[in-house]
């Protein structure tokens, strides 16, 4: 793994809340001005493929958030842009989907948009 990719990984691991690619790139450039935007995008693509980050739409902007292991969903504040993880899940069970629709679910994504406690 290259030093620049390690830098992007380190920055993502330390980031609190959601971030735009431009913000991550700007922060990376303060540590290594030679880093390319393509390196940031490619590293984020790898992290998405591994499930370590996910891409959300926050206030109409593409925003990445870190993901922990295990089943969880995101509460996205449309006012301040904060993102909070929740283990609460309103998705129907695999058994219910199978009995009602004959559908064999393998996965699901659920992001809930609204107003957080601080902005309410």
Average pLDDT over residues 60-81: 86
Instruction: Decide if 70 is inside a domain.
Output: yes
Q: The domain containing residue 49 runs over which residues?
A: 3-114
Instruction: Decide if 89 is inside a domain.
Output: yes
Residue 58's CATH number: 1.10.10.10
Which helix (H) or strand (E) is 54 found in, with range? strand 53-58
Residue 84's DSSP bridge partners are: 75
Interval 9-37: pLDDT, tens = 999 999 988 899 999 999 999 999 999 99
Instruction: Decide if 120 is inside a domain.
Output: no
Position 91 scores a pLDDT of: 86
Instruction: Decide if 90 is inside a domain.
Output: yes
Residue 79 reports pLDDT greater than 90? no
Interval 85-112: pLDDT, tens = 888 888 888 899 999 999 998 888 888 8
Instruction: Decide if 22 is inside a domain.
Output: yes
What is the pTM assigned to this prediction?
0.77
Instruction: Decide if 119 is inside a domain.
Output: no
Compute the distance between CA of residue 78 and CA of residue 103 in angstroms, rounded to an integer.
32
Compute the distance between CA of residue 8 and CA of residue 4 in angstroms, rounded to an integer.
6
Instruction: Decide if 29 is inside a domain.
Output: yes
Residue 77's DSSP bridge partners are: 114
Compute the distance between CA of residue 43 and CA of residue 80 in angstroms, rounded to an integer.
27
Instruction: Decide if 110 is inside a domain.
Output: yes
Mark residue 72 as left, alpha or beta (left: phi above 0; alpha: psi -120 to 50; beta: remaining).
beta
Position 10 scores a pLDDT of: 95
Q: How many domains does the chain have?
A: 1
Position 16 scores a pLDDT of: 84
Please check whether residue 13 is in contact with residue 44, taking contact to mean a CB–CB distance below 8 angstroms: no
| 38 Cβ neighbours under 8 A, 6+ residues apart | none
Position 18 scores a pLDDT of: 86
């Amino acid at each position: 793994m290259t030093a620049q990719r390690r830098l992007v990984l380190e920055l993502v691991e330390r980031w609190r809340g959601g971030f735009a690619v431009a913000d991550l790139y700007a922060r990376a450039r303060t540590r290594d001005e030679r880093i390319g935007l393509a390196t940031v995008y490619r590293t984020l693509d790898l992290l998405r493929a591994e499930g370590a980050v996910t891409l959300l739409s926050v206030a109409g902007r593409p925003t990445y958030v870190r993901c922990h292991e295990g089943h969880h969903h995101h509460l996205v504040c449309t006012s301040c842009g904060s993102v909070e993880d929740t283990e609460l899940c309103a998705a129907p069970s695999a058994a219910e989907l199978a009995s009602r629709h004959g559908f064999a679910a393998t996965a699901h994504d659920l992001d809930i948009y609204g107003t957080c406690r601080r902005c309410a």
